[in-house]
């Protein structure tokens, strides 16, 4: 179980205006700006949960992850993970967690991937049988057979990310932190990584905390999302709930033969082309079935589809709403 | 312990790969060793009585120094460690269950040992084959050879413990260049890497011999050549242990301080 209560963290950053004169001035009197990276961050995550931690760039996502991993020490507040405070009992704490920092690599650059894995086995003191079992399972699930003997430097980004995932799971951690695990991956690799994370959560019951900018990740993986902006937790709830809360507007996309149909109250045109119409429907005023009936009475319908709000739109809406 | 051994092994194996670099290194050390010995020979011919060491001792000192250069040189650092600090890779290091100080210590020591293993034998072989007075002499006794071995290990420890301070300073300066250059020039000079410490004029010599740098190559090389022997050699080992422990304590303390307010660079 992960409990964070009132975590604060600030950084001091040297600032100066552009230009040579300013650079000289900064030699003598340097101006610092304190940036409040986290402000009173609190949440609880239960064992086996899969949580999406989202927010715009610079919101404090990575800082929170690093505090939970014992890498950073916060200025104040309480954080307890499986009964331990990460930065006080770092070594015992990190034995039970796995981390993937999507923008960095944990693989030894010049040696084959399997050598890096062996090293990780020794670092965590994984016994031979458990290691063999984990390696086999991960190799199958992540399709690593072909690339285990390749040096990390010759792997593609997608291949490397699959290896990174495997590397952080060789010691069977109870909690897995993923900091942008799908950054820069192509569609196929993204889906492979998502499928794997899902399976891991379902079969091993691993708690997964995921930060990402890819809303499809969130939609595919997490039930619960926590929204952070400017260092503060803004929202904490299920994805469905949030979608409903932000808007229950539906979009109807219609392809038809005939004249442009007229609209009734509660329907708004968003896009119009020859034989194609995209209409927003406000369910309070006009239900989706009424809208469809209204449209099909006027024209010959070739194709019709109804969409809810996408996670992407919802999050963009939330960012606007909270001005972050 | 096993995890540090694993680090040692992978670093050692990794460094053994670079055969061409080792070959080039050996060639350089030969050239350097010959030139240095010839320069000392010229001084010695002018006035042998002004020489603070016997000439054969000086020759052994220089050959050993060239053979074990990778073990003792102070201008050599692990680029990986600087990168981890300045570019933020340290995030992964801290998410692993080991003590960062010993992890880096092990890595540095392994790299130096691997480089030395590759380079020392051809240099030593030739040093024993060349004619007098350039020929390296055997150790004066089995005991002094044993003391030399022990002293070499302590020396490696002191060298790495000192380098650790340079790495740790990077947490504060964010650019290793300055501290690195100063430490390379100053430490190498004071360790007797350019001129052996007995050649230093008094009272400068007395001061230099009390500094931690004197616990580096100065000790094993002079013990081997017989310049320091008997009880003095034992005192020398004690002196090395003292500085090793002191530097480790300082390093661990400052590292603890630095990690408390570490900032992960680059997001």
Residue range B185-212, pLDDT digits in tens: 899 999 998 899 999 998 899 999 999 9
- Quote the pLDDT of residue A257: 87
Q: Is residue A151 included in any domain, yes or no?
A: no
Residues of A in contact with B97 (CB under 8 A): 91-92, 94-95, 123-124
A111 is a domain residue:
no
- Predicted pLDDT at B167: 92
In whole angstroms, give the CA distance from residue A274 to residue A277. 8
> What digits encode the pLDDT tens for the residues A14-55?
777 677 777 777 677 777 788 888 999 999 999 999 999 988
Tell me the mean pLDDT in the region A117-126: 90
Asked if residue A98 and residue A40 are part of one domain, the reply reads yes
Q: pTM to 2 decimals?
A: 0.82
Number of domains comprising chain A: 2
Scanning A43-82 for CB atoms below 8 A from B yields 62, 66, 69-73
pLDDT score at A168: 92
A122 contacts in B (CB within 8 Å)? 2-3, 5-6
The per-residue pLDDT for B266 is: 56
Same domain? For A76 and A182 the reply is: yes
Average pLDDT over residues A170-175: 92
Which of B5, B18, B80, B97 is most worth mutating to test chain A (most A CB atoms within 10 A of its CB)? B97
Domain presence at residue A269: yes
Given a cut of 70, whether residue B181 has pLDDT beyond it is: yes
Contacts of A69 in chain B (CB under 8 A): 91, 94-95
Residue A91 lies in a domain: yes
Contact B14 A108 (CB under 8 A): yes
- Determine how many CB atoms are found less than 10 A away from the CB of residue A297: 8
Those residues whose C-beta lies under 8 Å from the C-beta of residue B63, and which sit 6 or more positions away, are B33, B37, B123, B124, B127, B136
Residue A157 falls in which region: left (phi positive, over 0), alpha (psi -120 to 50) or beta = alpha
Torsion over CA of B193, B195, B199 and B202, rounded to 10 degrees?
Answer: -70
User: What is the pLDDT at residue B51?
Assistant: 85
Q: Report chain A residues whose CB lies below 8 A from the CB of B88.
A: 104
A67, A84, A91, A179: which to substitute to probe chain B, counting the most B Cβ within 10 Å?
A91
Q: Is residue A320 part of a domain?
A: no
- Closest approach of chain A CAs to the CA of B107, in angstroms? 13
B2: closest chain A residue by CA:
A122
CB B97 to CB A91 under 8 A? Answer: yes
Name the domain boundary from A210, A244, A278. A244
Q: Which of residues 99-138 of A touch B (CB under 8 A)?
A: 99, 101, 103-106, 108, 110-111, 115, 118-119, 122-125
Last residue of one domain, picked from the residues A244, A267, A297: A244
Closest alpha carbon within chain B to A69: B95
Domain that holds residue A200: 2-106+168-244
Residues of chain B found within 8 Å of residue A95, distances taken between Cβ atoms: 97
What are the extents of the domains in chain B?
2-260
Q: Say yes or no: A173 and A302 in one domain.
A: no
**Which residue bears the tokens 């040096």?**
A151
Chosen from A89, A101, A102, A173 to mutate, greatest number of chain B CBs within 10 A: A101
Q: What is the mean pLDDT of residues A188-194?
A: 85
Q: Please give the pLDDT value at position A132.
A: 94
- Distance to chain A for B106, nearest Cα, Å: 13
Distance (Å) from the alpha carbon of A225 to chain B's nearest alpha carbon: 22
Mean per-residue pLDDT for A2-23?
81
Is residue A226 located within the same domain as residue A273? no
Q: How far is A56 from chain B (nearest CA, A)?
A: 13
Whether residue A117 lies inside any domain: the answer is: no
Q: Is residue A141 part of a domain?
A: no
Looking at residue B109, its pLDDT comes to 93
One domain, residues A176 and A84: yes
In tens, the pLDDT along A21-31 reads: 777 776 777 77
Nearest CA in chain A to B262: A72
**pLDDT tens per residue across span A138-159:** 998 888 898 999 988 899 888 8
The answer to whether residues A275 and A253 touch, using CB atoms and an 8 Å cutoff, is no
Instruction: Please choose, from the candidates A97, A34, A35, the residue with its C-alpha nearest in 3D space to the C-alpha of residue A66.
Output: A97
Same domain, A46 and A28: yes
Provide the pLDDT for residue A249.
76
What the block records as the tokens of A271 is: 């896009």
Whichever domain contains A29, its CATH number is: 3.40.50.300
Q: Quote the minimal CA–CA distance from B111 to chain A in Å.
A: 14
| Nearest-CA distance A108 → chain B (Å) | 9
Model confidence pLDDT, tens digit, residues A259-294: 888 888 888 888 888 888 888 888 778 888 888 888
For residues A15 and A80, state if they share a domain. Answer: yes
User: Considering only CA atoms, which of A305, A213, A180 is closest in space to residue A254?
Assistant: A305
Give yes or no: residues A56 and A172 share one domain.
Answer: yes
Residues A238 and A269 in one domain: no
Instruction: For residue A68, give Cα distances in angstroms to A81, A88, A177, A208.
Output: 8, 11, 9, 13
Q: What percent of chain A is modeled with pLDDT above 90? A: 26
Q: Can you read off the two tokens belonging to residue B88?
A: 């933020």
End of a domain among A244, A264, A288? A244
**Which residue blocks in A20-60 are alpha helix, DSSP H?**
20-28
Instruction: Quick: pLDDT tens for B211-253.
Output: 999 999 999 999 998 888 888 889 999 999 999 999 999 999 9
Q: Which of A68, A84, A106, A117 to mutate to test the interface with B (most CBs of B within 10 A)?
A: A106
A vs B, Cβ pairs < 8 A, gives 72
Are A177 and A303 part of one and the same domain? no
Percent of chain A with pLDDT over 70: 98
The span from the CA of A23 to the CA of A26, in Å, is 5
Q: What is the ipTM of this complex?
A: 0.75
For strands A224-229 and A232-238, give the pairing. antiparallel
Strands A50-54 and A207-211: parallel
Give me the percent of chain B exceeding a pLDDT of 90: 39
Distance CA A239, CA A235 (A): 11
**pLDDT tens sequence across B46-90:** 888 888 888 989 999 999 999 999 899 888 888 888 888 888 888
Let me know if residue A128 belongs to a domain.
Answer: no
CA distance B13 to chain A (A): 10
Residues A101, A180, single domain; the answer is yes
Domain check: are A53 and A88 in the same one? yes
Contact A122 B3 (CB under 8 A): yes
pLDDT band at B160 (very low <50, low <70, confident <90, very high): very high
pLDDT tens for B21-51 read 888 988 988 898 989 999 999 989 988 888 8
């Amino acid at each position: 179980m992960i409990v964070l209560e009132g975590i604060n963290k600030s950084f001091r950053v040297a600032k100066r205006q552009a230009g040579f004169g300013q650079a000289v001035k900064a030699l003598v009197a340097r101006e610092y700006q304190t940036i409040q990276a986290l402000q009173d961050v609190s949440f609880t995550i239960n064992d086996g949960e899969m949580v999406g931690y989202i927010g715009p760039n610079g919101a404090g996502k990575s800082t929170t992850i690093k505090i939970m991993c014992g890498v950073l020490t916060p200025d104040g507040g309480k954080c307890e993970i499986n009964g331990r405070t990460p930065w006080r009992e770092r070594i015992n704490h990190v034995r039970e967690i796995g981390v993937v920092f999507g923008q960095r690599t944990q693989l030894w650059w010049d040696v084959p991937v399997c050598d890096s894995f062996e090293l990780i086995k020794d670092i965590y003191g994984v016994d031979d049988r458990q290691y063999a079992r984990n390696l086999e399972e991960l190799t199958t699930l992540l399709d690593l057979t072909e690339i285990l003997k390749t040096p990390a430097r010759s792997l593609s980004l997608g291949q490397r990310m699959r290896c990174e995932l495997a590397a952080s799971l060789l010691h069977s951690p109870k909690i897995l932190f993923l900091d942008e695990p799908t950054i820069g991956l192509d569609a196929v690799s993204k889906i492979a990584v998502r499928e794997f994370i899902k399976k891991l959560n379902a079969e091993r019951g691993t708690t997964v905390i995921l930060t990402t900018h890819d809303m499809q990740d969130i939609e595919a993986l997490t039930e619960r999302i926590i929204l952070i902006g400017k260092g503060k937790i803004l929202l904490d709830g299920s994805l469905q709930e949030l979608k409903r809360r932000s808007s229950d507007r539906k979009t109807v996309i219609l392809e038809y033969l005939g004249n442009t149909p007229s609209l009734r109250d509660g329907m708004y045109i968003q896009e119009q082309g020859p034989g194609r119409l995209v209409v927003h429907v406000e369910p309070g005023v006009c239900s989706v079935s009424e809208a469809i009936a209204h449209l099909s009475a006027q024209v010959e319908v070739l194709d019709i589809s109804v969409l809810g709000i996408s996670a992407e739109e919802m999050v963009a809406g939330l960012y606007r709403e909270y001005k972050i | 312990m096993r995890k540090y051994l694993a680090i040692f092994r992978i670093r050692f194996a990794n460094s053994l790969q670079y055969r061409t670099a080792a070959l080039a290194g050996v060639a350089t050390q030969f050239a350097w060793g010959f030139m240095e010995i010839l320069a000392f020979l010229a001084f010695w011919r002018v006035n042998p009585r002004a020489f603070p060491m016997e000439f054969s001792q000086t020759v052994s000192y220089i050959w050993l120094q060239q053979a074990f250069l990778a073990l003792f040189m102070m201008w050599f650092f692990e680029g990986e460690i600087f990168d981890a600090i300045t570019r933020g890779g340290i995030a992964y290091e801290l998410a692993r269950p080991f003590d960062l100080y010993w992890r880096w210590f092990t890595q540095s020591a392994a790299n130096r040992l691997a480089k030395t293993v590759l380079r020392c034998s051809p240099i030593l072989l030739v040093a024993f084959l060349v004619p007098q007075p350039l020929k390296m002499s055997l150790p004066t006794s089995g005991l002094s050879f044993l003391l030399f071995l022990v002293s070499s290990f302590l020396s490696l420890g002191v060298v790495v413990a000192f380098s650790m301070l340079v790495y740790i300073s990077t947490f504060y300066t964010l650019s290793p260049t300055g501290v690195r250059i100063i430490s390379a020039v100053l430490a190498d000079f004071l360790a007797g890497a350019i001129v052996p410490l007995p050649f230093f004029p008094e009272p400068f010599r007395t001061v230099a011999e009390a500094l931690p740098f004197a616990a580096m190559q100065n000790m094993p090389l002079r013990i081997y050549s017989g310049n320091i022997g008997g009880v003095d050699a034992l005192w020398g080992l004690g002196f090395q242990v003292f500085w090793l422990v002191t530097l480790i304590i300082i390093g661990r303390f400052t590292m603890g301080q630095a990690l408390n307010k570490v900032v992960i660079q680059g997001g």
